[in-house]
Amino acid sequence: MSKVYSIENEKLKVAVKSAGAELSSIINKENNLEYLWQAGAEWPKHAPVLFPIVGQLKDNKYKYNGNEYTLSRHGFARDNEFEVFDQSESSITFVLSSNAKTEAVYPFQFNFYVIYELEGSKLHIHHKVENDGENTMYYSVGGHPAFNIPLVKGTSYNDYKLRFDQPVTANRWLLDNGLISTESVPFFEDQTMMELSKEMFMDDALVFKTVKAGSVTLKVPGSRNGFTMELNGCPYLGIWAAKNADFVCIEPWWGIADSVNASGDISQKEGICVLAGEEDAMHSYSIRFF
């Protein structure tokens, strides 16, 4: 049965569900603001963890070692119960290990750890993937946190802007029923600022492959309150909101949806992470709240 666990320090109080190891609350104790979307009717989630794929597979299928498997969008981690591996006052580690249920759709032996660690006003989020078998393992992982907008009373959705720490030039890759189309369109042109509006998400997520920025900040210009996400070199970035919903997701990805021309061979999938037998890898990002 799913439980909710809390960690806190002098700055932040964070709640996490054992179901999906999903963040469910981030409260700044200094200003009493709730930063995380509270799973409203427009989207009944807070911050799903994406594993062992990010996005959608072509026909929801992939091939490995001569066999075909089915995986739904964003993989199965968000639909599974995690166990608490370790906990202290200001950090908690969850783990999901391969089992008969996962091996039926994903034939790899693994331990997948989701670690939340507080450091002052920062929340560090680590995804550690262990290949517990001898064969090469193919996977993707990503974050999908949704943040309240408006965050501060007296502000509106259109007041909020995203600011990168350096100028960005990148095309937006268009989606075709959840798959990456063959078409991209100019979006960022040597700019640091992105204005937000609900209208920009009417045609699904904004997907980027080449955002070479160290961090992105969300706030109303001139406001004291917001947050900065350190992207830590993630190769793909998604920005999304449900239609007419009061939130925005900023999604660091180590993987991406299939293209419309994908072969289905997971070893050839764009953006796939590769892990040799008995090895592990860490994929992390951090968020500083103010």
Per residue in 209-228, pLDDT (tens digit) is: 989 999 999 999 999 999 99
Tokens matching residue 274: 């590769």
Q: How far apart are CA 91 and CA 93, in angstroms?
A: 7
Those residues with Cβ within 8 angstroms of residue 104's Cβ, 6 or more apart along the chain or in another chain: none
Q: How far apart are CA 21 and CA 49, in angstroms?
A: 7
pLDDT band at 114 (very low <50, low <70, confident <90, very high): very high
Q: How far apart are CA 199 and CA 192, in angstroms?
A: 20
For tokens 């179901």, the residue is 19
pLDDT reported for residue 135: 96
Report whether 198 contacts 244 (CB < 8 A): yes
- Write down the domain spans for the chain: 4-289
Q: Are strands 247-254 and 141-143 parallel, antiparallel or unpaired?
A: antiparallel
Q: In whole angstroms, how far apart are CA 45 and each of 25, 101, 145, 154, 223?
A: 11, 23, 9, 25, 27
pLDDT reported for residue 210: 85
In words, the CATH class of domain 4-289 is mainly beta
For tokens 């268009």, the residue is 174
If you average pLDDT over residues 51-61, what whole number do you get?
98
For tokens 């391969």, the residue is 98
Other C-beta atoms within 10 Å of 95: how many? 17
Task: List pLDDT tens digits, range 131-174.
Answer: 999 999 999 999 999 999 999 999 999 999 999 999 999 999 99
Report whether 45 contacts 38 (CB < 8 A): no
Q: In whole angstroms, how far apart are CA 267 and each of 75, 91, 255?
A: 16, 34, 13
Other C-beta atoms within 10 Å of 21: how many? 30
pTM above 0.75, yes or no: yes
Report whether 257 contacts 178 (CB < 8 A): yes
